[in-house]
Each structure stands twice: as C-alpha cells, then as structure tokens.
C-alpha cells in the first residue's frame, strides 16, 4: 500500500525541486530510511540534524519527566514523534503534550497543548523557522529549552502575519531560578532549573 504514496506524475518543463508530502515522509520512515537518524519535514523538505549530544539528551529526558508529572492522566507526552502542523510539515518536536489517550488513536496528532524543543546547535532554527511553523499550526504554548544559554524561552499568542502564516506575539525569557506554568496546566508551575542539565 505504501507504493501508492510514491506514484508521482513527472511534470513537463524545466527541472524543479521535489517536495515531499507528510504522507510520503512518514512512508519513508516506515521503510526505515531514517533509522538511527534525526529527520523532520519542513515545507516539503526533509531536514536532517546531526547526532544528539549529551546535554541535549539530558535536557530532553528531564523535560519529559517533568511534563509527565505536571500533566498526568488524560495527556500524552510524546517524545520525538510526529506532529503534523501543515500539509508538508512534520517537525517531530522533542516533546509534544497532546490531550487524550493513545487508545483508539488512528492518526498522528495535528495539534498539541504544549510543544517543547531542546536547543543547543538548533537555537536559531527553533526560535525562527520552527516557531513560525508552530504558530501557523495553532500551537498556543511553545517552549524552547536553551541548553547553552541556560534559560527557557516561552512563545505564546500566535497571530496571523501579513505575508501568510503566523507568529507569536509574546516571547518570555525565564532564568534557572524562575518557574512558569504551561497554559494547559496553570496550577502546575515548572522550575526552569528542573529542565536544564
């Protein structure tokens, strides 16, 4: 059945870039094309990141543990799994907190109550390109754990922008002594220090 995903009509005319759909990207993943690699899809382009360094992995594990405690039952804390935020975009965020149970789920989520990216070498992309994609996808609460800067960047209030898409109107910066509560769990503040290695 996956072969039907790759049936592509060859266009006439000059050469053009080949853009992948989310379905094709996922089919490639199912075939093992990204095994042991960190790949995600941005506007039809497959992006591959280098290996994860230890501080990134530690911050990811810390964030996962904290958010599982904060959200508890009725929520799915998805680590580096698909989150389809557009027809050609699946950024596979480090952490996405999704409402509901995994039982009965038949498709990848298209929204999340909270998305978190852990950034070291990816800080620029996480605060620009990915922030725009998450805002456009309607993600209300987007956090970036800045490992090297030892801070948490919180993006909220997505709004449309003139050229299409969306951007976050609010950007907050929290230091290790600070705490911030997710919008979907306002009574459960998270200590920034608990997210950092």
Domains of the chain, each with CATH number or no CATH: 2-46 (no CATH), 52-195 (3.90.1570.10)
Q: Is 22 helix (H, G, I), strand (E, B) or coil?
A: helix
Global pTM value: 0.87
Are 126 and 107 a contacting pair, CB within 8 Å?
no
pLDDT the model gives residue 1: 45
Are 151 and 141 a contacting pair, CB within 8 Å?
no
d(CA 75, CA 113): 9
Place of tokens 């109107």: 169
Q: What tens-digit pLDDT sequence spans the chain (197 residues)?
A: 445 555 656 667 777 777 888 888 888 888 888 887 888 788 888 888 877 899 999 999 999 999 999 999 999 999 999 999 988 888 999 999 999 988 888 889 999 999 999 999 889 999 999 999 999 999 999 999 999 999 999 999 999 999 889 999 999 999 999 999 999 999 999 999 999 99
d(CA 85, CA 143): 16
Tokens (6 digits) for 55: 């501080």
d(CA 176, CA 6): 47
Q: Is 140 helix (H, G, I), strand (E, B) or coil?
A: coil
Are 188 and 182 a contacting pair, CB within 8 Å?
yes
Alpha carbons within 13 angstroms on the beta-carbon side of residue 102 total: 5
């Amino acid at each position: 059945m996956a072969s039907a995903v790759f049936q592509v009509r060859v266009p006439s005319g000059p050469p053009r870039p080949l853009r992948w759909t989310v379905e094709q990207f996922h089919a490639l993943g199912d075939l093992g094309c990204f095994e042991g690699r960190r790949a995600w899809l941005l506007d039809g382009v497959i992006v591959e990141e280098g290996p994860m360094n230890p501080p990134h992995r530690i911050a990811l594990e810390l964030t996962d543990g904290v958010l599982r405690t904060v959200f508890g039952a009725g929520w799915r804390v998805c680590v580096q799994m698909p989150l389809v935020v557009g027809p050609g975009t699946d950024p596979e965020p480090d952490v996405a907190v999704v409402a509901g149970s995994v039982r009965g789920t038949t498709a990848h989520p298209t929204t999340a109550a909270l998305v978190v990216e852990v950034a070291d070498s990816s800080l620029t992309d996480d605060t620009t390109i990915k922030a725009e994609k998450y805002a456009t996808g309607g993600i209300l609460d987007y956090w970036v754990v800045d490992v090297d800067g030892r801070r948490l960047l919180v993006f909220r209030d997505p709004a449309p922008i003139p050229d299409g898409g969306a951007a976050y109107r609010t950007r907050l910066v929290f230091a290790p002594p600070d705490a911030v509560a997710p919008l979907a769990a306002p009574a459960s503040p998270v200590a920034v220090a608990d997210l950092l290695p």
